Structure 1
Amino acid sequence: MSDSPSHPVAWQHQPADRVLMTLKTRGPQSVAVIAKAMDVTAEAVRQQMARLHAEGLVDSESQSAGRGRPTQIWFLTEAGHGRFPDTHAEMTVQMIGAIRQVFGEDGVEKLIQARETAMLNGYRQAMQGARSLKERLERLVEVRSAEGYMAELRKDGKDYLFIENHCPICSAAKACMGFCRSELELFHKVLGDEVQVRREEHILAGARRCAYRIEKS
């Protein structure tokens, strides 16, 4: 599997933001790995880690790799993940609750279907002129990244991995799992009948990201 995404994430300008973004998109890492990814010194990363740790945005744990001193592995805390936007979270959850109370589950399902239809129309417009599966996936990366999903595409043997490092509707998805089901169906419809889409990692199941395996039927 290639470690280089075809659609690199745009870094923030502040060093602390770059550290947070690196942990968000790459998962738990050592200072040395983060420094290499950011092209800065390990000491510069340690300074940022001390600041971020004091703010409660990152934490670390020791991992032993055989002989020698254990390595400190840094990761985002819940507060650290909270630094990335969850679109109108409180209002959205309240709205879902109100729809459920007034119209029942059928009302919530109609809301999800209406959202899926609107997104499908927009995505199909974005796919115009994209002939190959790779081109369609690259267009999908662009659209989803613009929507805040921090998407990237990686090749894995004969398959593709479509990765979303962030979920800007996480609170809504927690309130109603139908949003996750709908998005999986949306990918099926956008990418075509000749491919299979399988979710292998899921943020709501405890993973740090959502990852989908895309393979030709």
Structure 2
Amino acid sequence: MEDKQKAKNQILHRLKMHGAQTAATLAEQLQVSPMAIRQHLQTLQAEGWVTYREERRPQGRPVKLWQLTERSGNFFPDSHADLMVDLLRGVETVFGAAGLEKLLAERTNRQVQSYTPRLAEVAGSSDWRQRVVVLAQCRSQEGYMAEVIEQPDHSLLLVENHCPINAAARTCQMLCQSELEVFKTLLGPAVSIERIEHIMQGDRRCAYRVMSET
């Protein structure tokens, strides 16, 4: 029973990190038989964690691409969502929009102060790529399931596969802007960063294109 649950957890994690996958791809990645993967997927589908869509290929039958359902967000940590939402609403009610902006500015400053010592270990204009990697490591430790992906144009894609403050961000979208400001401050003016995918806009993940301006 424990092994089955472990396998199902691994499937959910893979789909969260990499998006829709075929059963054959999952089987290869997890080094188990396709039949076992299909059994786990059917169980996860019955439990409401995954679903699939069919994709036509140039040859042969359509393939099933398995993906997470909206409900699956409950499987991943959400950083005391209800408490954070209530606090944000309370701040805006008591102190108004200006008070909420001050609170978010203070949070931004604290995030920068928290990340700076880690990034300082790889400081220097020639090390911007390593700083992005360290930033992703910091974010992963906070539950964002972050990774860095090299791009053909030599830019980097900073990907956050999970948003542990999702509920709060939906209540206060200024949170997302403050996160972007943190990244810009940490990486400095010699590096450009642009959000190109956004969970709040219906994307599977948040993704940022990062590249050197020099």
One of 183, 208, 216 as aligned partner of 2:212: 216
Q: What letter is aligned with 2:141?
A: A
User: What is the match of residue 88 of structure 1?
Assistant: 80
Percent identity of paired positions between Structure 1 and Structure 2? 38
Aligned pair 1:159/2:155, yes or no?
yes
Q: What letter is aligned with 2:139?
A: R
User: What is the match of residue 138 of structure 1?
Assistant: 133
One of 178, 181, 193 as aligned partner of 1:182: 178
CA distance in 2, matches of 1:137, 1:202: 18
Secondary structure of 1:17's counterpart equals helix
Q: Which runs of 4+ in 1 moved over 2 A?
A: none
CA distance in 2, matches of 1:45, 1:80: 18
Deviation of 1:92 (Å): 0.8
List gaps (5 residues or longer) in structure 1: 1-12
User: What is the match of residue 14 of structure 1?
Assistant: 6
1:61-80 per-residue CA deviation (whole Å, 9 max, x = no partner) reads 22111332111111111111
One of 53, 58, 78 as aligned partner of 1:61: 53
Secondary structure of 2:133's counterpart equals helix
User: What is the match of residue 112 of structure 2?
Assistant: 120
CA distance in 2, matches of 1:56, 1:28: 16
Aligned pair 1:42/2:37, yes or no?
no
Aligned residue-pair number: 205
- Are the counterparts in 2 of residues 196 and 214 from structure 1 also a CA contact under 8 Å? yes
1:185-216 per-residue CA deviation (whole Å, 9 max, x = no partner) reads 11011011100000010000011000000011
Secondary structure of 1:90's counterpart equals helix
- The structure in which a higher percent of residues are helix is 2
1:37-70 per-residue CA deviation (whole Å, 9 max, x = no partner) reads 2122111111110111111111112211133211
Secondary structure of 2:148's counterpart equals strand
User: What is the match of residue 149 of structure 1?
Assistant: 144
Aligned pair 1:191/2:183, yes or no?
no
Higher RCO (CA-CA < 8 Å; seq separation 6+): 1
- Are the counterparts in 2 of residues 113 and 182 from structure 1 also a CA contact under 8 Å? yes
- Are the counterparts in 2 of residues 24 and 81 from structure 1 also a CA contact under 8 Å? no
Aligned pair 1:106/2:98, yes or no?
yes
Deviation of 1:81 (Å): 2.2
Secondary structure of 1:120's counterpart equals helix
Q: What letter is aligned with 2:136?
A: V
CA distance in 1, matches of 2:36, 2:102: 51
CA distance in 1, matches of 2:138, 2:107: 15
CA distance in 1, matches of 2:106, 2:199: 24
CA distance in 1, matches of 2:29, 2:52: 18
Give me the TM-score of the superposition, normalised by structure 1. Answer: 0.91
Deviation of 1:138 (Å): 1.6
CA distance in 2, matches of 1:37, 1:203: 26
CA distance in 2, matches of 1:133, 1:154: 14
